[in-house]
Amino acid sequence: MAVEVGQEAPDFELSDHTGQKVRLSSFRGEKNVVVVFFPKAFTGICTGELCEIRDLGTVFEDEGTVVLGVSCDTTATLAKFAELEGYQFQLLSDFWPHGEVAQRYGVFLDAAGIATRATFIIDKDGVVRWSVVNGPGDARRTSEYREALAAL
């Protein structure tokens, strides 16, 4: 079962595509966080969704909000993906222990060994204020979480 709106977001620490450690709780009191779980780098739907976030820039990421993309890919894979697509937001590797963060959020698909397509908007107090969980082949509508961000 996925983490629900109104619950405190499970804390985590993962390495980003540059090897830097990122802890969710480090944003508490300072920034809203959009955690975007995606199944696999370099796949059509994932690339399209993340490029839309990249292209809309400040709609998703500004002085009060940060975007964290999370997949079970390795940091090396995510580094190449970020470089080729020009992503300015951090891509976090949930590779080892494999899918541990996705499991805590209830969005890990055991049979496939990947996170499903899920987004959690976490406010500055660390509480999940909005979420959507789709199957790996079902694209999210970024307009929905743009609206949720505007309401914070």
* Torsion angles phi and psi, residue 113, rounded to 5: 70, 30
To the query of whether residue 51 is one of the catalytic residues in this protein, the response is no
Instruction: Name the helix (H) or strand (E) containing 30.
Output: none
Residues 6+ apart with CB under 8 A from 91: 16, 17, 41, 69, 70, 71, 78, 81, 82
Q: Which of 22, 33, 46, 101 is catalytic?
A: 46
- Give me the active site residues, please: 46
